[in-house]
Structure formats: C-alpha cells, structure tokens
Structure 1
Amino acid sequence: MNSKKQKTTKNNTSYFLEDCHKVKLAHPNTNQCPTDSEITSLKVGDLVKLVFNQVTNEDGTLVERMWVKIKTINEDGSYSGILDFNPLVIGELKRGCEITFRKENIAIIY
C-alpha cells in the first residue's frame, strides 16, 4: 500500500485486522483458519489469534499476530476481547486493550 502518511481506519486507529478467510481463499495451500463449526463453538474466555496490520509512514505494512481473550460474544456476530499479548511493533496497543473483531478475523483458536 503506497501511503505517504499514517493511515487511520474508521475506528480512529492506525491498524486494521486481517480478513483471514479471504487470505485462505487466495492462498489455500499456505494459510489455515478455523472452520465455521470451530468458530461457532467459541465461548467467553477462549483465546483466539488475530492478525493486526499497521500501515507505516515508510510505505510498508507491519504485521503482528496476537492472542485475544474473548470477553463478549455480541448478538450481531461480533466479538469483544482483551489483548493478551504485549505488542512488539504496533505501539498504540498494549496488553489489556479491548479489541472488537469478527469471525473472519480469527486466524487460530487456542
């Protein structure tokens, strides 16, 4: 992505979550993600790994895979969770931050 300045997403952050299911469709032999039945069986307290992307000022993207503990499963199908990892490259996030995500953002279930 060619961007001369920091990209801000609609939720006013400089990162976005990967759609792991789209990536799997594009690269089925190298990328895995949970099945719908595995995702349906998730419950509060489970850990899931999400892929965070951050566009940088240097025309690149930093990628960090981090564990999030599910706090709420919402009626609209979204999830709220708590970051259970100390980010190494995405500075605006810290362990304990609340993260909202959808099933397509889930890369791995612990």
Structure 2
Amino acid sequence: MTEIKLPYRLVDGEHMSREYPDTFHIPAGYERSNVDVGRFVKLGFDAGEQGVERMWVRVTEADDNGSYTGILSNSPIGIDGLDAGDLVVFEARHILAIAEDDGLEHSENF
C-alpha cells in the first residue's frame, strides 16, 4: 500500500492547550469525543512554512473511539493541495472548536 503524503498535519489541540493553558482554549474532552454527524468543527491545518490555517469541517462520520471523517468547508488561502470539499480524517484531539449553531455561515456548500 502506498502512503499518501498530505500537504498539512493537523494541530493537536490537546497538546496546545496543555502548553498554553491561559490562551489556547478548546472544548471539553467529552464534547470533542461526542460530536454529532452534521456539526461543524474547527481544525488547525499546519502546512509548515506555508503557515497554519484554522478552518471549519462538517462531520460526515463518527466512530465510538472519537475518530471522525468530515468535509472541509472553507477554501484554504495558503495550503497547496487542499481544497474546500476535500475529505479530512481527524481525531477528537484535533478539534479546536465546535460550532454553536447549524454551521451555515461556515459552509461553502459542501
């Protein structure tokens, strides 16, 4: 099987929150592990020298272990090879925020 090299790595929100507890706040672990399909979550996409972009992802699949699949809802500005509508696989530890509403303002129709 050929490994696919992604143009980014996801920011580990749990790690960042431990490192910077006064300024880097994330939802509680229970909330991040129990996100419903259809909700929007914010993830950080680290593209190295291209920088980090925080973008919304609509959850399309969730398993009992806190792993998710979703569709990127924003168009990245500076990450080549990543586009709105792309599938993103992530874990609860990567969730930086959970949308409070139906997420319509986070969507670009994906």
List per-residue Cα deviations over 1:25-80 (Å, max 9, x = no partner).
0100000011022224410000000000012xxxx351100000000002443100
In the alignment, does 2:54 pair up with 1:65? yes
Q: Which of residues 74, 77, 84 is equivalent to 2:63?
A: 74
Q: Distance in 2 between matches of 1:41 and 1:79?
A: 10
Q: Distance in 1 between matches of 2:80 and 2:50?
A: 14
Normalising by the residue count of structure 1, what TM-score does the alignment of the two structures yield? 0.81
Does the aligned pair in 1 maintain the 2:44–2:53 contact within 8 Å? yes
Q: Distance in 1 between matches of 2:82 and 2:64?
A: 26
Segments of 5+ residues of structure 1 without an aligned counterpart are 1-9
In the alignment, does 2:31 pair up with 1:32? no
Residues 40 and 14 of structure 1: CA distance in aligned 2, closer, same or farther (over 3 Å): closer
> What RMSD in Å do the two structures reach over aligned CA positions?
1.4
How many residues align? The count is: 97
Matched residues, percent identical?
33
Segments of 5+ residues of structure 2 without an aligned counterpart are 100-110
SS of 2:35 mapped into structure 1: coil
| Larger gyration radius, structure 1 or structure 2 | 1
Task: Identify the structure with the greater helix proportion.
Answer: 2
Where does residue 43 of structure 1 map in the other structure? 36
Where does residue 102 of structure 1 map in the other structure? 91
